[in-house]
Structure 1
Amino acid sequence: MKKSTTAVVSMIMASVLLAACGNNNNANTGNKTTSNAGGTNAPASEAPAAGNTSADKDISGTITFLTNRTDMIGKEYDDYAKRFKEKYPNAEIKFEAITDLDKTTKIRMSSGDFPDVVLIPTIPNSDLPNYFAPLDDLGLTDNIYFKDFKSYEGKLYGISVGATTTGIVYNKKAFADAGITELPKTLDEFYAACEKLKVKGIVPLASNFKDQWPLYPWASEIPTSIAGNPNLNNERINSDEPFQMDNAYGQGMSIIRTMYEKGYLEADVNSTNWEQSKKDVASGKFAMFMLGNWVIPQVVSSGTTSDNVGFFPLPYDNTGTVNVTLAPDWAYGVNKDSKHLETAKAFVKWMLEDSGFDEFAGFIPVIKDKEAAVPQLQEFKSFNPVTLEAVPDDAQVTDVVNKAQITKEALVQEFVLAKDPQTILDKYNKAWAKAKKDVAK
């Protein structure tokens, strides 16, 4: 990605989560989701009348959107197609869903034949103009989060589908059954709550250890929060030994290691299952996830009610104050060679403004002044966390990570299971230093 020109801690919780907590009674709890990006059904009556302006006449033809939401095919996407056509009678949208989004999209882009609208894969920002059309003319550039993430040389090529913050998603009845009357605000209180759950026969945290990818917060979001520095991962480039037991990385991973040692995770962490874990949290067999707000509607749709699911920041120390990160999801991109370029751009704007995709996914809207409808964010906000808005990855850091073949979730796995976690940090520091030297040549 393009190197960020700033590394500013944005204390924007008042504006972000206050907006994110509006319309609390509108959360959609009836639709099942199966991945970590989502959408919702807003009433068709909210769409403005179509075909009344000269600009609408340019919105015509059939376009295709390539998505990872296989679960929405034949359901929510049918409704989206209908409502988009109601707004733009001369246009049609088709949906193609794939599972291995990043790899498949790259292959199709390299062939020169890819759909009108895609979720931008992991390519350098310098390559964005080769494939995608600028989106600055949508009029959203100055009113969105993460505008630098998919920009190059001052032009915007991608807009995130939504924003997420990371915390503890929990089953309220499980907490009540365990005698937890107040939510923990310090790390000691958090461990004490876990012990009460364990004694009651409730698994405190669904780690999904074997699936690996759900471990990402422990090596990224939590260290960033502990350091109070959204540029923490980029600043690794200044060190040959960025992973230390006594810095933010070691401290963050030590929390889940402690939970493993105390028996607060699944009985067999090597046989966990993501889909089943959502049902187990919904039923109260498991009490918590440590993930983003996007998982809230997925827990609800797995067998419980919205008012039984809560959300609070992880108290990673005993100060009683907490930082949280605000991070982007996949970003919409428009094929620069689309035969219906204006229609493709109109669809991206419609998805952000009118579709209701944010609510279904449990996202904080990426449009700054748009209210979200996820009620659990009000509870999260009541803890008065300081929000750190994520910054783009430094291209050189990405090169080092790739050269060293570092997978942060694998690092967490090894750290947790090791007899001596320092040996794991030494191993990764050695790989980091070598890769850093090679990249610098």
Structure 2
Amino acid sequence: MKKFGLVLVTVFMTVALLAACGGGNGGNNGGNAVNNGGDAANAGNGGGNAGSENAGGNANAAEGGDISGTITFLTNRTDMIDKEYVDYAKRFKEKYPNADVKFEAVTDLDKTTKIRIASGEFPDVVLVPTLPNSDLPKYFAPLDDLGLNERIYFKDYKSFEGKVYGISAGGSTTGIVYNKKAFADAGVTAVPKTLDEFYAAAEKLKAKGIVPLASNFKDQWTLYPWASEVPSSIAGNANLNNERVNSDTPYTLDNPYGQAMTIIRTMYEKGYLEPDVNSTNWEQSKKDIASGKFAMYLLGNWVIPQVIESGTTSDNVGFFPMPYDNSGKVNVALAPDWGYGVNKDSKNLATAKAFVKWMVEESGFDDFAGFIPVLKDKEAKVAQLSEFNSFSPNYIEAVSDTPETTEVVNKAQIVKEALVQEFVLAKDPQQILDKYNKQWAKAKKAVLK
């Protein structure tokens, strides 16, 4: 999942989204987030020069002006190559006969996209990486001319000085995705509502020979919730990530970051993760969750369709908020997924913009990926969100990190998932926190003079 702070969702937005979450029944396969999962679909090749706001940057980009030429979309959805993306390319061409779209998939999306951008040449359409929003105009074309601004959630997610440079592929919330039959086979008769109940359920699953939680530890990106969503939920803090700039020691054992990472460390120490966390496999884990060999993920709702497609039925997959303490109450993050961005120097700018609009309005990717739709007037089709909302979680809405936070993180070279890995495996986790705090303080001093 991308980097963000959190703010309490307004009453209007909460009601609207929860209504949307309640509808529908089951999705397909999603990517992320975070992730190989939960992320959007395509990516581009392209580059080129031609123009910025005038080169097809008006409403004709969405209505069929000079929509021609070939564009490339860079995506992290490796699972959709030669499958769903073939259909997307065909359908897009049916609408725009003079246009073609190609798809390029990579596993390390954020890093790869940044490298491509730094090289001066990157695809026509990408999923915007973790750059300060103030840098977006340097590389991306404004998307305000697509007529979507008033129809979407997270409009300010990838915006700068009133212009939109990225449109989220969809929204997601993080929780425990679980195999219901695995729970029943292990004698777990009720969904855990407290942390102690969660550990007790994991112990029953382990005793039955079922791996309680699939961490995908080796893949690293899947660990993002333990360093972002869970800490923010524990804090119930609108700006936990951004408030790190107010401290030289943002990571402590007794603050939300330490509390969250201690949960997964405890799971590791008790044998509730995979037998060998250094040889995990993301694609295989989806099959193992589907079969009941593994019982749970801590990931976004985007992964639900992927589990179903990997070999089970929708009614065998459940979803509940992660109980991070024993209060019985939970905050959960409502976060945008990757945002579609258009290379401002694309040789086929109008076509690239038309593709973004088509992805949002017509592709069906949000349903396929199990997202909460970014379009306000569209209902979600993931039935499991109804179960999730039955626990009455308190939603908080994600916003982007401030430029200052992003600059300090980049200067400190902190990869939050790597922090989780080191914290879990260390003999003394305090030493890991000391190490990262030292990096943070040094970077902060250099950046915030």
User: How many Å separate the matches in 2 of 1:100 and 1:421?
Assistant: 27
Deviates more, 1:157-166 or 1:85-94: 85-94
CA apart distance, 1:30:
11
Name the aligned partner's letter for residue 35 of structure 1: N
Matched, 1:126 2:134: yes
1:65 and 1:117 in contact (8 A); partners too: yes
SS in structure 2 at match of 1:137:
helix
2:372 corresponding residue in structure 1: 364
* Residues 251 and 139 of structure 1: CA distance in aligned 2, closer, same or farther (over 3 Å): same
1:9 corresponding residue in structure 2: 8
1:28 corresponding residue in structure 2: 28
* Residues 166 and 180 of structure 1: CA distance in aligned 2, closer, same or farther (over 3 Å): same
- Superposition TM-score, scaled by structure 1 size: 0.88
2:359 corresponding residue in structure 1: 351
2:430 corresponding residue in structure 1: 422
Q: 2:202 aligns with which of 182, 185, 194?
A: 194
Q: Which runs of 5+ in 2 are unaligned?
A: 42-59
Q: 1:332 aligns with which of 336, 340, 348?
A: 340
Q: 2:405 aligns with which of 390, 397, 408?
A: 397
CA apart distance, 1:7:
6.2
2:44 corresponding residue in structure 1: none
CA apart distance, 1:59:
4.7
Q: 2:69 aligns with which of 50, 62, 76?
A: 62
2:229 and 2:333 in contact (8 A); partners too: yes
1:305-360 CA distance string (max 9 Å, x none) = 22211111101111111111012222111222334433322221111111110121
2:30 and 2:369 in contact (8 A); partners too: no
User: How many Å separate the matches in 1 of 2:220 and 2:40?
Assistant: 25
2:68 and 2:96 in contact (8 A); partners too: no
2:40 and 2:337 in contact (8 A); partners too: no
1:59 and 1:88 in contact (8 A); partners too: no
Q: Which runs of 5+ in 1 are unaligned?
A: 41-52
User: How many Å separate the matches in 1 of 2:6 and 2:300?
Assistant: 22
2:223 corresponding residue in structure 1: 215
* Residues 119 and 436 of structure 1: CA distance in aligned 2, closer, same or farther (over 3 Å): same
User: How many Å separate the matches in 1 of 2:71 and 2:320?
Assistant: 38
1:297 and 1:362 in contact (8 A); partners too: yes
1:44 corresponding residue in structure 2: none
User: How many Å separate the matches in 2 of 1:202 and 1:185?
Assistant: 20
User: How many Å separate the matches in 1 of 2:113 and 2:447?
Assistant: 27
2:71 and 2:351 in contact (8 A); partners too: no
- Superposition TM-score, scaled by structure 2 size: 0.87
1:268 corresponding residue in structure 2: 276
2:239 corresponding residue in structure 1: 231
User: How many Å separate the matches in 1 of 2:289 and 2:276?
Assistant: 16
Deviates more, 1:416-425 or 1:431-440: 416-425
CA apart distance, 1:276:
2.1
User: How many Å separate the matches in 1 of 2:229 and 2:318?
Assistant: 20
Q: List aligned pairs for 1:15-414, cutoff 5 A.
A: 15-24=16-25, 27-28=27-28, 35-37=36-38, 56-68=63-75, 69-110=77-118, 112-414=120-422
2:56 corresponding residue in structure 1: none
SS in structure 2 at match of 1:67:
strand
Name the aligned partner's letter for residue 376 of structure 1: Q
Deviates more, 1:59-68 or 1:290-299: 59-68
User: How many Å separate the matches in 2 of 1:293 and 1:30?
Assistant: 9
1:19-69 CA distance string (max 9 Å, x none) = 1332226x33699x99314579xxxxxxxxxxxx99844152123132223
Name the aligned partner's letter for residue 167 of structure 1: G
* Residues 154 and 282 of structure 1: CA distance in aligned 2, closer, same or farther (over 3 Å): same
* Residues 262 and 137 of structure 1: CA distance in aligned 2, closer, same or farther (over 3 Å): same
1:81-105 CA distance string (max 9 Å, x none) = 2222333344433333344444444
* Residues 271 and 83 of structure 1: CA distance in aligned 2, closer, same or farther (over 3 Å): closer
Count of residue pairs the alignment pairs up: 424
Deviates more, 1:130-139 or 1:172-181: 130-139
1:381-422 CA distance string (max 9 Å, x none) = 111111111111112122222222222122222222233322
1:322 and 1:386 in contact (8 A); partners too: yes
2:6 and 2:396 in contact (8 A); partners too: no
User: How many Å separate the matches in 1 of 2:349 and 2:94?
Assistant: 19
* Residues 134 and 10 of structure 1: CA distance in aligned 2, closer, same or farther (over 3 Å): same
Name the aligned partner's letter for residue 71 of structure 2: T
SS in structure 2 at match of 1:390:
strand
1:159 and 1:333 in contact (8 A); partners too: yes
1:50 corresponding residue in structure 2: none
2:132 and 2:402 in contact (8 A); partners too: no
2:70 and 2:100 in contact (8 A); partners too: yes
User: How many Å separate the matches in 1 of 2:226 and 2:115?
Assistant: 31
1:230 and 1:325 in contact (8 A); partners too: no
